[in-house]
Amino acid sequence: MYQTILTIKTECRQEAVDITGQVNDIIGNHQIEQGLILLFVLHSTAALSTVTFAPGKDLDILESLEPDVPAGFEHLHGHFHLPHHLVSALLHQSLVLPIRDNRLLLGQTQKVNLVELNGPKDRQIAVMLFDHNGLKIPALAHSQINYE
């Protein structure tokens, strides 16, 4: 097992940052033929997703998830943080993804995205790699996946 922290600097108040390349670089640097990767965002106003956000369209998706907050509602971290916490809870704080052939095993339209809900900030993602080389289990091949 290998652990590290991936730091991503976001640039906007709300945005989706494709981190697929950085994650694949970590996997490639450790020569993981098959295994799992666990990603966990260390912030309550950010999330992780494998949805592909189109440039210029990610804010539309994020804004559609923001709830209307009732007038006078009291939230532990301030009224303005409630939508960020709710959207973060609707998305994911963590992802566990398969590794095959030294890279993420993803669908054709999937990317690993850090979803910023309250930026810009330096965001940290805990990364844990689990190497399954040597296990006596049949490995899933990219050619076995039906992307339709």
- Greater confidence (35 vs 84) lies with 35
For range 117-129, the mean pLDDT? 95
CA angle 118–66–46, rounded 5-degree value: 35
Q: Which residues contact 148 (CB under 8 A, 6 or more apart)?
A: none
Range of the domain at 113: 2-134
Contact 69, 81 (CB under 8 A): no
Tell whether the model's pLDDT for residue 15 goes beyond 70.
yes
Instruction: Please give the structure tokens belonging to residue 98.
Output: 């398969």
For residue 148, pLDDT over 80 is answered with no
d(CA 37, CA 82): 30
Highest mean pLDDT among 51-55, 118-122, 136-140: 118-122
Residue 10 lies in a domain: yes
Question: Under 8 Å CB-to-CB from 130, ≥6 apart: which residues?
Answer: 1, 35, 36, 37, 38
pTM over 0.85: no
Whether 82 is in a domain gets the answer: yes
User: Which residue type occupies 99?
Assistant: I
- Is 96 within a domain? yes
CATH number at residue 72: 2.60.120.460
Structural domain includes residue 142 = no
The reported pLDDT for the residue numbered 133 is: 75
The pLDDT tens digits for 87-103 are 665 678 999 999 999 99
How many structural domains comprise the chain?
1
